[in-house]
Amino acid sequence: MANHTHAAPAPVGGRLLNATTLVAGVLVALMATLLLVRFIFGLGSVTNLNDGYPWGIWVVVDVIIGSAFACGGFSVAMLVYIFNRGEYHPLVRPALLASLFGYTLAGAGVIFDLGRWWNVWNMFWPGSVNLNSVMFEVAICITAYIIVMWIEFSPTFLEQMGREDTKRKLSRVMFFVIALGTVLPMMHQSSLGTLLVVLGVQIHPLWRTPLEPLLYLLTAVTMGYAVVLFESCVASSAYRRKIEMHLLTPLSKIMLGFLVAYLVVRFGDILVRGALGSAFAPSLEALMFWLETACFAAPLVLIGREADRRNPAKLFLAGILLMLGGALLRINGFLIGYETGDGFSYFPALPELLVTIGMFALEVLGYIIITRRFPVLPREA
Amino acid sequence: MANRRDFLRGVLAGGAALTAGVATDPACARETRQRPPEALGLLYDATLCVGCKACVAACKEANGNPPVFSTEDQLWDTPLDTNGYTFNLIKMYRNGTMDTKDQEVNGYSFMKVSCMHCADPSCVSACPVSAMTKDPETGIVGYNPDKCIGCRYCVAACPFGIPKYQYDDPTGRIGKCELCRHRYKDGHYSACAEVCPTGATLYGKTSDLLAEAKRRLAMKPGQVNRFPRGKIGGPDQSYEMPAGTYLQHVYGEKEYGGTQVLKLSGVNFQKVGMPDLPPESAAALSETIQHTLYSNLLMPFAVLGAMTFAAKRNVKADEGETANDSERKEG
């Protein structure tokens, strides 16, 4: 393999206080206030959760979609370290940082949603755990992965703190940490799909399949690359940096490979199960299915040709579409295609939405602070 | 180019491993569970129910639940569905002129809504912390609030919509029927069956209840028969009554591997709110998938081994590179 020489990561620098961080800060403060209300008065005081819809956007968006958006670190690390594509190395740290925030907040988001959060230690207590539960597998794996990711990312902090010898010691075992960091997300991202299986007949046929784990894994990887495209474009424009097209163009081709694999499995499964008919029924579910499918299919047209993949605007748009498609797959499975009987409906309450928005604001805020003060993004030539 | 071939090979191998894992492996298949031989349950016969709701009130009292209001004056307990404080409810089906009881067209019917105590419950399979458990002898699906983390996966999983969470309480619990297991030590049994004036709700061993249900299905409509009340095998409280017109279906005999609460009705079960369920449970499918992917953690460890091998080979070269980078940075 050719020896790739990259610019070393370096802090971007600049002021931490600006319009973006100020807005993000206000949104985070708002979230904190609403969470205080939630913990004092109960889940019903700030959410529209009800007996028919026990899970709302805090579970589906903050945790299930949030963690899938946070698969950039895993997808890129797999490419670089497992498939030995060292040329993508400059993308690892920024992607990992976004993942670190996505997952840490998804983990925190779970606590906000737990109705009896003080009992959460039972999740790790041998006398309590239920090895048959998909939720148990998800919880253990996500917790482990958050810890693994902080270790994976720690060289960034160690470099800045001048702890080179600690960093060197850590680097001797880093290969194992990285390996763990690819296996754990494969496990829980697939299991997030398996969560739907036990809901059985309550799930609309278009999203009710034993192949759920494979669908969720393939889309998580695809979304991981999509997020990297999105995040690289946003970081370049916000920090007025050169866009890394020499990396993003070939990366997007790999992403399309996973996308095609997903679409083959998705439609193969629907056809084999004979569920395609319900996609043509005049229903909200069918409409949402086609919207979801359109988001997945459009990038094939948009950046199917090599020339189009050299166009940053098209890559950016394709990235957004795939993030949206993956998000819709999850919203459709867990909320739109979830039928619990007559008389129940769910749409998130304003405070509920503000908490979710606050979570994303916290991610943006953290990303800005860390990239400005710690060596994450490659130094500009 | 070797590098690109490696990449493709890796993708293919990974995909193959996953497909092999997801495709059902008979060795790990988890069969749908059946009722334990001594399973306890209820038999609800909609044709005997007069809709007096004595069972609803008795359930509230036995479980110490507060009334739930749906009317402006808030005088009576009037829940519209089961909820965190209502574990048992009588619902009504009505059609057209509502002339005849237990008739689908121009008729009406009642239906009891409470935990079915499934042979293979989705809620027990779903619960990550064993707060929802199935008693190995009685088969009662019980709830332990001291373990429950309030994730509400049981609420989402149940096809009957039974476990419900108390959203209005910062320390809310899951509420569901536990067949009054807390009253057994005082010689009592399920309060709903104890108070039922017509024997529409009958308590007993599910095997006895199933035999009783089959006996009723064999009756000629309108023919006078004896119907037990309270508890099968308890003191004789039976009475005579003309048999109703039954659908030839014991709901709960086979659904999801069977339930311990059984139901008889004159009106189509889906019409009165009972879901149409296959004989295989969702819990069995879910656990088959999980145990195939994670049996003895073989697959995760195999993948971890492969990943460690690849990473060990590739990270070394990479670390040299970052070492150079750091030197450049400091220089």
With contact defined as beta carbons under 8 Å apart, do B200 and B227 qualify?
no
User: Residue A125: which CATH number?
Assistant: 1.20.1630.10
H-assigned helices in chain B: 2-22, 54-62, 122-126, 153-157, 191-195, 206-217, 282-294, 298-330
Q: Are residues A354 and A227 in the same domain?
A: no
Contact B300 A217 (CB under 8 A): no
In a domain, A8, yes or no: no
Give the residue with greater pLDDT, A20 vs B191.
Answer: B191
What residues in A contact B147, CB-CB < 8 Å?
A: 119, 122, 128
Contact B127 A135 (CB under 8 A): yes
What residues in B contact A2, CB-CB < 8 Å?
A: none
Q: Are residues A133 and A173 in the same domain?
A: yes
Q: What is the mean pLDDT of chain B?
A: 89
Residue of B22, B128, B155 with shortest CB distance to A211 = B22
Q: Are residues A324 and A364 in the same domain?
A: no
pLDDT at A270 over 70: yes
Q: Are residues A54 and A43 in the same domain?
A: no
Q: Are residues A33 and A63 in the same domain?
A: no
pLDDT at A279 over 90: yes
In a domain, A222, yes or no: yes
CA distance B26 to A102: 37
What residues in B contact A84, CB-CB < 8 Å?
A: 3, 6-7, 310, 313-314
Q: Are residues A175 and A209 in the same domain?
A: yes
> B121: pLDDT confidence band, cut at 50, 70 and 90?
very high
In a domain, A376, yes or no: no
ipTM entry: 0.91
- Whether B147 has its CB under 8 Å from any CB of chain A: the answer is yes
Q: Are residues A187 and A236 in the same domain?
A: yes
Q: Are residues A206 and A262 in the same domain?
A: yes
In a domain, A10, yes or no: no
In a domain, A328, yes or no: yes
**Which burial class, exposed, middle or buried, applies to A275 when counting CB atoms under 10 A from its CB (0-12, 13-18, 19+)?**
middle
Q: Are residues A42 and A158 in the same domain?
A: no
Contact A214 B18 (CB under 8 A): yes
- Summarised one tens digit per residue, pLDDT across range B171-195 is 999 999 999 999 999 899 999 999 9
pLDDT at B24 over 50: no
- Summarised one tens digit per residue, pLDDT across range B205-243 is 999 999 999 999 999 999 999 999 999 988 999 999 999
The Cα of A175 is separated from the nearest Cα of chain B by a number of Å equal to 5
Residue B4 has a CB neighbour count (10 Å cut-off) of 10
In a domain, A85, yes or no: yes
Q: Are residues A198 and A319 in the same domain?
A: yes
Q: Are residues A118 and A35 in the same domain?
A: no
Residue boundaries of the structural domains of chain B = 40-278, 281-331
- Whether B63 has its CB under 8 Å from any CB of chain A: the answer is no
CATH of domain B40-278: 3.30.70.20
> How many C-alpha atoms does B61 have within 13 Å on its Cβ side?
11
The Cα of B247 is separated from the nearest Cα of chain A by a number of Å equal to 23
Residue B27: per-residue pLDDT? 59
The Cα of B150 is separated from the nearest Cα of chain A by a number of Å equal to 4
- The strand pair at B100-101 and B40-45 is best described as unpaired
Q: Are residues A257 and A195 in the same domain?
A: yes
Q: Is the pTM higher than 0.95?
A: no
Total structural domains within chain A: 2
Could you list the residue range(s) of the whole structural domain that residue A354 is in?
18-48+348-368
With contact defined as beta carbons under 8 Å apart, do A235 and A377 qualify?
yes
Contact B147 A122 (CB under 8 A): yes
- Whether B269 has its CB under 8 Å from any CB of chain A: the answer is no
